[in-house]
Structure 1
Amino acid sequence: MTDLHHLTEPRDAIDHAVVRQTWRLAEPLHGMIYFVPEAHERYAALGLTGRDGYFASRAAAMGAVGAEPVVAAFYNFNPRLVTAALPAAWEKTTPAAVLAARLDAAGAALTRGLGDAVHSPEVAEAAGLARRAAESVTGRSEGRVLFAAHAALPWPDQPHLILWQAQTILREFRGDGHVAALLLAGLTGLQALVLHAASGEVPERFLRRSRGWSEEQWAGAVDDLRHRGVLEGDEPTLSDAGRALRASIEAATDRLAAPAYTVLGADGCRRLAELARPLSRTIVAAGLLDVANGIASRG
């Protein structure tokens, strides 16, 4: 197994703790799109309900793709779940229509969640910083399919939509790097979910059901990871080796995400985080990240 943690850093590398904090504090501004009713309603108007809306909306930037590229890029969903949605979605609508619906839903949800603050100078400043970060890595798309597809989309005009799209691009940049780290760690998509659940950060039930895995499939992955020595106990928890593996994966993910934030420098990252924190808290307080409404959990 290759350990990316010990690879030499670029001379202009930024502190990984700063990178992670900046991403985490801004992430709700993107992530709410998977939970808000505005998205469900707009996808349904195109004939896409439940999980069909999730898979089509996140994959639409790649064009009218079939299930196989989406299984590969999304990494941890049961392939049967994806094949039930794609390519059938493209018989009902087009990627362009889905992308327009998604952006419209994002705008409506942010306006509802942020209220008057959606037009504030803070949103405009955060949008400028996030867009600068996103655009700085458009020439570094190797191996980052979802990032490249989203980075190629035209930019909207309004600051709150620019902020949402920039954070979407940054999220897919980080996500593609995370997939690379998981691959190098020798983990399948299902095993990565099991490892995540064993950390205690997200309930097993939510991860298993939202990604479409059966109890038997989940139990098989648990057995595999126990045999590998990274899980222990009847109610599987991380062993010392499992905690070390998780830490290595997260460190590699941070390292691979860092190039997007280098252009801002530490001060710019801290400013983006400072601006994003109250906006994200407002989004959460408004109920825009209610996991019970998750698109990927429906259907």
Structure 2
Amino acid sequence: MNAGMNAGTVAARRAWRRLEPLHGMIYFVPEAADRYAKLGLTGMSGYFASRGAAFGRASADLVIATFYNFCPDLVRRSLPAAWDVVTPEQMLEARVEAAAEALRRAGVHELPHLAETLDLARRAAMAACDHPQGRPLFAAHAALPWPDDPLQQLWHAQTLLREFRGDGHVATLLAEGLTGLEALALHAAGGEVPVAFLKISRAWPEEEWTAAEARLQDRGLMEAGALSTAGHALRRHLEDRTDALAMAAYGALGEDGCERLAELARPFGRRVVDAGLLSLGR
């Protein structure tokens, strides 16, 4: 446990990490891509429109601001043109239906303790709804109606928790003076995600990526293409601060509730991973 973190925060982080595959898979599964394609959107257009649809007819600038780390030119190739092809309501419906179909393909609906897992995740998500200030992407999703299907409800709950945490993470990056591109380069230097995937999926020109790395090196955060001691310390601080900001949601469960959610979430996340619903192919 890092200094300054209490047991409740550690349990909350564990709960989020273990259940996060249930949300994250929506960006990779064919069930989503196929539905978006039938509506007329392919590739990154489907991604930006489906996640941004909670805002309504989101502009490119709004998505650039809230998604934070994508090359602006990439976003502008998709938005607002996507809204000439499809409505936000169509994308939202396609997204939640795709999520349920993919999770059923993985057999998530057959796992025991679905009702209890949903209850805990929904309680945390509803607590987050009391704290929308400064969290625009979360607030947009929180304004959406809850689905009727329990599996869709679980996906929606984790989606709210993911966007709540994500907005807090963006606030932390801003406070530390990191641009979206610099945050990507710092993350890549940590070696947890393939650099090639981050470069391709976020579409930053190589010269801009190199310039961002140079700025990080000037700040003493990188050395020879890897994180320096100061860089590792900053990464830990960013994650710890993000965890602390997420406690506005998970704190409603208490330490015992977070531990229970973390325990229950393990087989759910594992089922998604084992079924191949997560892939770095996009």
The TM-score with structure 2 as length reference comes to 0.96
- Give the structure 1 partner of residue 161 of structure 2: 170
- Give the structure 1 partner of residue 275 of structure 2: 286
> Partners in 2 of 1:223 and 1:162 — Cα distance?
44
- Give the structure 1 partner of residue 184 of structure 2: 193
Native 8 Å contact 1:145 1:176 kept in 2: yes
- Give the structure 1 partner of residue 238 of structure 2: 249
Native 8 Å contact 2:52 2:58 kept in 1: yes
> What pairs with 1:43-122 in structure 2 (closer than 5 Å)?
43-114=36-107, 117-122=108-113
Secondary structure of the equivalent of 1:175?
helix
Native 8 Å contact 1:119 1:160 kept in 2: no
The structural deviation recorded for 1:122 is 1.3
> Partners in 2 of 1:185 and 1:270 — Cα distance?
30
The structural deviation recorded for 1:14 is 6.6
Query: In the alignment, which of 127, 133, 145 is matched to residue 136 of structure 2?
Result: 145
- Give the structure 1 partner of residue 119 of structure 2: 128
Runs of 4+ in 1 over 2 A off after TM superposition: none
Give the aligned residue type for 1:284. V
Question: How far does the alpha carbon of each residue in 1:38-63 deviate from its partner, in whole angstroms, 9 at most, with x for none?
Answer: 00000001101000000000000011
The structural deviation recorded for 1:121 is 4.5
The structural deviation recorded for 1:119 is 4.5
> Partners in 2 of 1:120 and 1:32 — Cα distance?
17
Give the aligned residue type for 1:43. Y
The structural deviation recorded for 1:282 is 1.0
Give the aligned residue type for 1:39. A
The structural deviation recorded for 1:124 is 1.8
Aligned residue-pair number: 280
> Partners in 1 of 2:271 and 2:112 — Cα distance?
16
> Partners in 2 of 1:146 and 1:104 — Cα distance?
20
Instruction: Find out whether 1:161 has 2:152 as its counterpart.
Output: yes
> Partners in 2 of 1:89 and 1:216 — Cα distance?
29
What is the alpha-carbon root mean square deviation over aligned residues? Answer: 1.4
Native 8 Å contact 1:150 1:169 kept in 2: yes
Instruction: Find out whether 1:212 has 2:200 as its counterpart.
Output: no
The TM-score with structure 1 as length reference comes to 0.91
> Partners in 2 of 1:40 and 1:73 — Cα distance?
22
Give the aligned residue type for 2:148. D
The structural deviation recorded for 1:107 is 0.7
> What pairs with 1:29-40 in structure 2 (closer than 5 Å)?
29-40=22-33
Structure 1 residues not aligned, in runs of 5+: 295-299
Question: How far does the alpha carbon of each residue in 1:221-276 deviate from its partner, in whole angstroms, 9 at most, with x for none?
Answer: 1111111111001xx11111111111111111011011101111111111111111
Native 8 Å contact 2:59 2:79 kept in 1: yes
Native 8 Å contact 1:14 1:258 kept in 2: no
Question: How far does the alpha carbon of each residue in 1:81-132 deviate from its partner, in whole angstroms, 9 at most, with x for none?
Answer: 0000100010001000000000110010000012xx5044411211111111
Identity, % of aligned pairs? Answer: 57
Give the aligned residue type for 2:88. P
Question: How far does the alpha carbon of each residue in 1:179-237 deviate from its partner, in whole angstroms, 9 at most, with x for none?
Answer: 0000001000000000001111111111111001121111111111111111001xx11
> Partners in 1 of 2:157 and 2:141 — Cα distance?
9
Native 8 Å contact 2:12 2:262 kept in 1: no
Q: Which moved more, 1:71-80 or 1:216-225?
A: 216-225
Native 8 Å contact 1:70 1:82 kept in 2: yes
